[in-house]
Structure 1
């Protein structure tokens, strides 16, 4: 693991119950990132409802967005800033994400202009792609993170 959940919490503001990344397994600055999330029956959205047996699709988008924000914030151009989801294009869901599965989130930075950019995202379980989307992001002009957060374990 290149980054664990604690190190990820140092990079992005999301905290329980909306922290959706358990680890980063691959990272190429300014290009791509691969992160993972382990899905359990103990997830907050599954509590108290027998009819909910899968991860809501909007949470898959949130997982992809959080992984993308790590990639963006670790890019030299956007270091020490905050990234915001600006739009969702071409979202496609092939099948449900279920408890007991580990989802792999693959993000590729495809366009960058000034304080905006585009990432192509896929969510997979094993070799099966279960979702994909193109996300647009906007980066705040103000610096918000500290220089200590620049360290990534190689």
Structure 2
């Protein structure tokens, strides 16, 4: 993540600007650079961790990525794109939390996922 634009009780809007100089673009794919989908999901997970650890009960703790479901990739993310990351925490049960993430490039949805995290 490059910046957090908005942080509320249960929502976050963060941003990652892709310069085209990121190492992963060299090999994915040579001559046709595309951000790997797993890194888009990682960016959503990082935004979710910032959101969860901002809660009073979890300050000073560590968030671990526990899983993902219903992942959908809808648009390629390319060098020069600005990736806006939106995560909503939908439930917390003890040390386990659940959220929904949406990665956007402009008004286009690049990816969506349901995320699970654990707090230790």
TM-based fold match above 0.5? yes
Report matched runs for 1:64-143 at 5 Å: 64-140=44-120
Deviations 1:72-115 (A, max 9, x none): 10011211100001110100000110011101000000000100
Question: In the comparison of the two structures, how many residue pairs are matched?
Answer: 119
TM-score with structure 1 setting the length: 0.74
1:130 deviation in Å? 1.1
1:39 aligns with 2:18: yes
Distance 2:41 2:74 in 1: 13
Among residues 20, 27, 30, which one is paired with 1:50 in the alignment? 30
TM-score with structure 2 setting the length: 0.94
- Structure 2's unaligned 5+ residue stretches are none
Distance 2:63 2:31 in 1: 34
| Bigger-Rg structure (1/2) | 1
Structure 1 segments of 4+ aligned residues over 2 angstroms from their partners:
47-52
1:61 aligns with 2:41: yes
Distance 1:77 1:109 in 2: 14
Return the structure number with greater relative CO, CA threshold 8 A, min gap 6: 2
Distance 2:67 2:118 in 1: 9
Q: Which has the higher strand share?
A: 2
RMSD between aligned alpha carbons?
1.2
